[in-house]
Amino acid sequence: MGELLEDEALRVERLLDAQAKAVELFAAVAERGILAPGVRETEASDAIRDLAGDLLGIRRYWHKRIVRAGVNTLRPYRENPPDRVLAADDIVFADFGPIFEEFEADFGRTFVLGDDPVKHRLRDTLPPVFDAGRAYFAARPDITGAELYAHMVALAREAGWEFGGEIAGHLVGQFPHETIDGARIDSYIAPGSDGPMRRPDRTGQVSHWILEVHLVDRELGIGGFFEQLLDIGPAAADS
């Protein structure tokens, strides 16, 4: 039992360390102005990849790297919209899944390039919605992925937006989880995921989760995205 507890403590430490490095990477992205008008989404993605390699030694990712701007921010992860040039007043989000020492990070943040108050409000709504979803999860020991997804949809509506994602998160852990579990609905926070989220994973270890918030306004053609660890680590407001 002692070895299992020690192993779990190490897993948590590694997952939190991976997320901390992702926070550092995205702070550097903002600092260096990588997301700028006139830059293509693919160019920005490549620039972030190169910065991650130079700054943190990151060479591998467990899922495709995403930078989406303007109307492309409406599109969920699984879609591949046409490459777009960032405009002066765009809202932009980045979603990266780097691997640190065989542990996956999954981290998404939204940036606003101009002064549009609606876009700033959308960006600023994301962390509180995340924290409200996290509090709902924390208060319900037997919650299912389907129940949490339904609550995230309701939270989006209450905040004045639509929930844009087909899922609201997924399992995370040691690489490669997507290759093994990608076809299983119970690996996701989504409709039809009816098993308890607090359960042993396929290896018998504690399941850890990423929570995703994708808020959109289809009429305005804008969306925002925020994701990080759900069940461990700091709240969105503290990260």
Query: Between 173 and 109, whose confidence is greater?
Result: 109
**Sequence-ordered list of residues with C-beta below 8 angstroms from that of 57, at least 6 positions apart, any chain:** none
User: Average pLDDT for residues 143-158, to the nearest whole number?
Assistant: 98
Containing structural domain, residue 86: 2-233
Looking at mean pLDDT, say which of 1-15, 28-42, 65-79, 84-98 comes out highest.
Answer: 28-42
* DSSP reduced 3-state for 160: coil
pLDDT for the residue numbered 88: 96
User: Average pLDDT for residues 166-184, to the nearest whole number?
Assistant: 66
Q: What is the CATH classification number for the domain harbouring 190?
A: 3.90.230.10
The pTM score is 0.90
Assess if residue 238 is contained within a domain: no
Assess if residue 177 is contained within a domain: yes
Cβ atoms within 10 Å, residue 208: 21
Strand partners, 108: 95, 227
Assess if residue 155 is contained within a domain: yes
Strands (DSSP E) found in 61-152: 66-69, 91-96, 99-100, 103-104, 107-112
**Using one digit for the tens of pLDDT, what is the confidence trace for 67-125?**
999 999 999 877 889 999 999 999 999 987 666 656 666 789 999 999 999 999 999 99
Assess if residue 211 is contained within a domain: yes
Assess if residue 134 is contained within a domain: yes
Assess if residue 203 is contained within a domain: yes
65: its two tokens: 């790297």
188: its two tokens: 């996701």
The number of domains in the chain is 1
